[in-house]
Amino acid sequence: MPFNRKAHKFNASINEVEIGTGDKAIKIGGENTFPFYSFDGSLGAGPKIGVEITDLGLDGEPEGVKAYYAGCNTIGEIAKKAAQMPGGDFVVLRLAGGDPNGANKSVEDLVAVAKEVAEAIDTPLVVEGCKNVEKDAELLAKVAGALQGRNIVVMSAKEENYKAIGAAAGLAYGQKVGAESAVDINLAKQLNVVMTQLGVPASSIVMNTGSAAVGYGFDYTISTFDRVRAAALGQDDKMLQMPIITPVASETWVVKESTAAEEDAEEGWGPVEARGISMEVQTATACLVSGSDAVILKHPESVKTISKLIQELV
């Protein structure tokens, strides 16, 4: 008997969300099948890659990242170069310097940074906060207003501050909102429910359902992706059909594998930069094949590899 192939089809799809403006605008999501299962259905817009830069400049960055941005002196110049990174689709500005326990930069300073970045590039822009929920509430609301008309994604709207961020970004200024939850399908859904109740259209929401570096609690990340996609496509759950954007660089470049200098590391580990790239490449791959519609990376080598992977699989 010949093999009787059964296609697994769904009568539902992930929302397609457009970010950016003009001919540089891109779409995220739109698929009606599991990640890269092109043999079952459509992959929609196909996975995308964001290139991360931060307001803290290049000081702490790995050598390969510094080398890529060599000659850039202002955040605007850095942003321009990020927009040109081969394989990248959009730029991500992480306002890490806002953290009250870190550099604690003022909201005004950071809004100015966001404006400078937006003016330097015409590619789509995603802005992440500093992880402090109170600071982000104010900061991201102001960023949303300052960049009105650019159709950016304002990430980091959490359970604690979604009202401020959602109302500003999603309602007042017509931007897209990134709903961030802690590796749990129910929390992800709940946040989308309250966000839409606030009046933010479902079509303006993207999700960050949680991320971690592989080996660091990534089991929960995988299962959250798997379950979110099964509910979105299999049960046509409208409150889970938002495309997923996953920050990868900010998780993978802080763990020991990516930070321990060769002389401090265990024997045989070899140069630190290669380890960092490996963490980033493999974590990004694992996110994409589990459910991310876009991953946020920073090393040019990782961006190149993941972009090639996507080309091979779509």
Contact partner, 8, from ligand B12, another protein, none, Cβ < 5-8 Å per class:
another protein
- DSSP3 helix / strand / coil % (the chain, rounded to 5): 45, 15, 40
Amino acid at 68: Y
Q: Which of 210, 114, 196 is nearest to 156 (CA)?
A: 210
Q: Which of residues 169-198 bind another protein (CB under 8 A)?
A: 182
Residue 40's SS3 state is coil
Q: Which of residues 186-205 bind ligand B12 (CB under 6 A)?
A: 187
The two tokens of residue 200 are: 């933010």
First to last CA, the chain: 31
The two tokens of residue 153 are: 């994604």
What is the C-alpha separation between 260 and 66, in angstroms, rounded?
A: 18
The answer to whether residue 161 forms part of the interface with another protein (CB under 8 A) is no
Contact partner, 279, from ligand B12, another protein, none, Cβ < 5-8 Å per class:
another protein
- 6 or 70, CB closer to another protein? 6
* Residue from the set 84, 220, 234, 311 that interacts with ligand B12 by CB under 6 A: 220
Rounded to the nearest whole angstrom, what is the least distance from the CB of residue 286 to ligand B12 in the complex?
Answer: 13
Give whole-number Cα distances, 186 to 213, 231, 235, in Å. 22, 11, 15
The answer to whether residue 56 forms part of the interface with another protein (CB under 8 A) is no
Provide the residue count of the chain: 314
What is the C-alpha separation between 60 and 56, in angstroms, rounded?
A: 8
Contact segment (CB under 6 A) with ligand B12 among 3-11, 100-108, 214-222, 233-241 equals 214-222
The answer to whether residue 160 forms part of the interface with ligand B12 (CB under 6 A) is no
Asked if 294 contacts 48 with a C-beta cutoff of 8 angstroms, the reply is yes
* Residue from the set 214, 240, 245, 294 that interacts with another protein by CB under 8 A: 214
The answer to whether residue 101 forms part of the interface with another protein (CB under 8 A) is yes
* Residue from the set 106, 217, 234, 235 that interacts with another protein by CB under 8 A: 217
* Residue from the set 290, 292, 296, 298 that interacts with another protein by CB under 8 A: 290
The answer to whether residue 8 forms part of the interface with another protein (CB under 8 A) is yes
User: Other C-beta atoms within 10 Å of 42: how many?
Assistant: 13
Question: Residues in the site for ligand B12, rule: CB under 6 A?
Answer: 182-184, 187, 210-212, 216-217, 220-221, 251
